Amino acid sequence: GKGGWKSFDERDLLISYNALKVLEARYLLKDPNTLRYIETPQMMFRRVARHLASVEPQERRREYEEKFYEIMSSLKFVPNTPALMNSGTRLGILSACFVLPVRDSMTTKNGDGIYDTLRAMALVHQQGGGTGFDFSELRPKGDVVASTAGVASGPVSFMKIFDVSTDVVKQGGKRRGANMGVMHVWHADVEDFIKAKTGELKDVQLQNFNISVGVYDYFMNAVERGAEVPVITPRKTKIPGTDYDYYIVRARNYMDEEWVQEEILRELEERGSIYLDESRIITVDEALVIAEREGAVVKWVNARTLFNEVVKGAWDSGDPGLLFIDEINRRHPAWYLGKIQATNPCGEEPLLPWESCNLGSLNLEKFVVDGRIDWNGLAETIRYAVRFLDNVVDANRYPLRQIEEATKRTRKVGLGVMGLARMLIKLGIPYDSVDAVFLSYQLAKFIYYHALHTSVELAKEKGSFPAYDPVRYRDIWETARDLQELLSTAGVHGEPSEYVRKLTAEVNKLDFSTLKDMRLRYGLRNATVVSVAPTGTISIIAGTSSSIEPLFALAFIRNVAVGRFMEIDPLFLDYLRRYELDTPEVVKKIAESGEVGDNPFIPKTIRKLFRTAHEVPPMFHVLHQAAWQQWNDSGTSKTINLRSEETTETVERVYMTAWKLGIKGITVYRDKSKSQQVIYFGIKK
């Protein structure tokens, strides 16, 4: 009735101008004939809520639709872009993250040859999903192709085909596609791969890819010792009883083989990565030794030299990042399904081949009430958010049978966060402080606990994910490192204050072992429940800072596909007002640099509280990422933003420390290192 429409209007007032611009450019539905808008932002949230409630039993649909609508329209929770765009429309993909296999053959009877994958990628991109690939099964450049007696062109040239195809399929003109390309460090072409986007090739090649080198503990240890490591041709011998003929092989190749299954599982439990030599299970180090004996080693390289190349590339252009393959697999709850080799484009979802995952993020800023954290409100929102995300698995229309099967087998969902920086400001805690890292740690723990709890309750109500194995499933909270360990590894000293301890006292009441008993009794609905995504667009829709990042600038121009926006942080304006500094001259001055770090006319409290991404020391970026990763059963996406004048030593230290802190993947971005960047500082006329 009338009341309903009135409240619609009020809710729309929560939507900022920038949010509205983004919504109208890409999200709000239009009549295809007249191109007129046929919905308001509230109608969009209503459409999404109704669609995701439609998989609930008839008699509860209305109730869940209201709850879903409530958490979205209050901007406390926003699902990932494809769910907002596609719910209830002709396009059916609601998930943002996909990993597709890349096999060393043109086509296969399983439909997973390299050109099958190219087609799968196009289908996913067309509907707004992002895709990740491990290219290391492809034989290196110059290797012989048996069927034609020709010469292989190598993984990097195949990546170029994927890149061009991404350019062509522009997601209905709405946004560019996004990819993650991975190559493991033992591959003979790894040096080419490392350089594929730097030097003369930066801003030119593989522009639709983020690239990451998959590294292992053996490699990182060799870097520290300055030891030599072999790089090999992955295709050498045929393994008896299988179709696979890679020398360095992966567990998943064997998962169907009864004769190795039990042994593999036992070994996988011991260590993250295993390799097979015919019927014997060996470590990656042993595999490399055998590879040498059999002539599969192309050459030996100094691990330090290789690492330095990675660091130089990352310093120069932001690529490559690193993926820590052993850490990813050690802490994969459903590790018994095979070995993870790649992630989605921004790294928050390490997935098995063909798996997809849907995301959604809590807006932390909304849970600061009168200088305190509304823990009850947060827990309640998490309950409906996880239910929402679990419903996405069923409401999704999958573009391919393999994706549907792999996704429904594990029902992975990823509840993340945005607005951390603004929450910290509202609580008066500078981002680069032990208190802030402590708060991140406690928040991550709280969110993980309640997300897992909800997934257990959902299992009780609707059943566990099909591949759930109560005994083998790995509880990642058992291996979370404590905060002091993280701080001392990063070389940061200090204790959290009494203030922040009181603020988070609620978190100390959580009882994980009782939750484990419940899990063993009732099961688990989702193989993973949380994930920290970049929230590139949904944070604009929610009008908050993105993900777990510090504020990027206090005032800046944002370049996105649909135009250029100027933004001045409203919280910052509030603070200026308090000190009567909100005059046009002051604001203009600040906007020129985007920051106030060394401005002597600005009170010290403001300067400390409003440190922007480039003012925050790199180690605090890394610490926040590590804190969130401890209580995260998938990945934590983060960009370690560096000042333009930072050196390669900083990048080296960041990459090395990330490995030691148990981070799953790391990326840096040094200001001005690319010609096109999404955000520029300051206001330019």
Catalytic residues: 344, 346, 348
Query: In angstroms, rounded to a whole number, what is the distance separating the alpha carbons of residues 400 and 404?
Result: 6
The residues in 229-248 that bind ligand ADP, with binding defined as CB under 6 A, are: none
Indicate the residue among 177 and 618 with the shorter CB distance to ligand ADP: 177
538 lies in the site for ligand ADP, by CB under 6 A: yes
**Whole-angstrom distance, CA of residue 685 vs CA of residue 184:** 45
**Least distance (Å) from ligand ADP to the CB of residue 558?**
13
Starting from the edge strand earliest in sequence, which strands make up the sheet with 679-681, in order? 563-568, 555-560, 679-681
Q: Kindly state the DSSP code that residue 25 receives in the 8-state scheme.
A: I
Residue 177 interacts with ligand ADP (CB under 6 A): yes or no = yes
Other Cβ atoms closer than 10 A to 574? 12
Q: Which of 46, 51, 175, 197 touches ligand ADP by CB under 6 A?
A: 175
Cβ atoms of residues 249 and 321 within 8 Å: no
| Residue 632 binding ligand ADP, by CB under 6 A | no
Does 288 interact with ligand ADP (rule: CB under 6 A)?
Answer: no
**Nearest distance in Å: CB 208, ligand ADP:** 9
Cα end-to-end span (Å), the chain: 47
For residue 113, state whether it binds ligand ADP (rule: CB under 6 A).
Answer: no
Q: Could you say which residues in the range 342-371 bind ligand ADP, by CB under 6 A?
A: 344-346, 348, 359
Please give the Cα distance from 504 to 483 (Å, whole number).
Answer: 14
CB of 347 to ligand ADP, least distance (A): 7
Helix (H) / strand (E) containing 230: strand 228-232
The three-class DSSP label of residue 161 is helix
Secondary structure E strands in 551-672: 555-560, 563-568, 640-642, 665-666, 668-670
Q: Is 96 in the site for ligand ADP (CB under 6 A)?
A: yes
Per-residue contact string for residues 41-80; x = within reach of ligand ADP by CB under 6 A: ---------------------------------------x
The reply on whether position 536 binds ligand ADP by CB under 6 A is yes
Q: Which is nearer to ligand ADP, 130 or 230 (CB)?
A: 130
Under the binding rule (CB under 6 A), the answer on residue 650 touching ligand ADP is: no
How many angstroms separate the CA atoms of 639 and 435, rounded?
A: 21
Task: Please tell me the distance from the alpha carbon of residue 385 to that of residue 78, in angstroms, as a whole number.
Answer: 9
Q: Does 272 sit near ligand ADP (CB under 6 A)?
A: no
Q: What is the secondary structure of 327-366 as a DSSP string?
A: HHHHT-TTGGG----EE-TTSS-EE-TT-EEEEEEEEGGG
Residue 640, SS3? strand
97 binds ligand ADP (CB under 6 A): yes
Minimal distance in Å, beta carbon 269 to ligand ADP? 29
Question: Among residues 26 and 332, whose Cβ is nearest to ligand ADP?
Answer: 26
SS (H, E, C) 468-502: CCCCCCCCHHHHCCCHHHHHHHCCCCCCCCHHHHH
Rounded to the nearest whole angstrom, what is the least distance from the CB of residue 476 to ligand ADP in the complex?
20
User: What whole-number distance in Å separates Cα of residue 683 and Cα of residue 259?
Assistant: 65
Please say which residue, 122 or 518, places its beta carbon nearer to ligand ADP: 122
Q: Tokens in use for 220?
A: 């990182």
Helices (H), 210-249: 217-225
| Among 396, 395, 391, 389, residue whose Cα is nearest residue 360 | 389
The residue range among 32-40, 50-58, 67-75, 124-132 that interacts with ligand ADP, by the rule CB under 6 A, is 124-132
Number of shown-chain residues binding ligand ADP (CB under 6 A)? 22
Q: How far apart are CA 359 and CA 37, in angstroms?
A: 26
Instruction: Decide whether 368 or 561 has the Cβ nearer to ligand ADP.
Output: 561
Q: Is 93 in the site for ligand ADP (CB under 6 A)?
A: no
Instruction: Rank residues 82 and 313 by Cβ distance to ligand ADP and give the closer one.
Output: 82
To the nearest whole angstrom, how small is the minimum distance from the Cβ of residue 189 to ligand ADP?
A: 25
Q: Which is nearer to ligand ADP, 314 or 538 (CB)?
A: 538
Of the candidate spans 33-41, 375-383, 534-542, 652-660, the one that interacts with ligand ADP by CB under 6 A turns out to be 534-542
Q: How far is the CB of 537 from ligand ADP (least distance, A)?
A: 4
Residue 535 binds ligand ADP (CB under 6 A): yes
Residue 182 makes contact with ligand ADP by CB under 6 A: no
* Contact yes or no for 95/128 (Cβ under 8 A): no
Looking at the Cβ atoms of 264 and 533, the one nearer to ligand ADP is 533
CB of 545 to ligand ADP, least distance (A): 13
**Residue 541 token pair:** 């829709």
Tell me the closest approach of the beta carbon of residue 534 to ligand ADP, in angstroms. Answer: 4
Binding footprint of ligand ADP on the chain (CB under 6 A): 80-81, 96-97, 128-130, 175-178, 344-346, 348, 359, 533-538
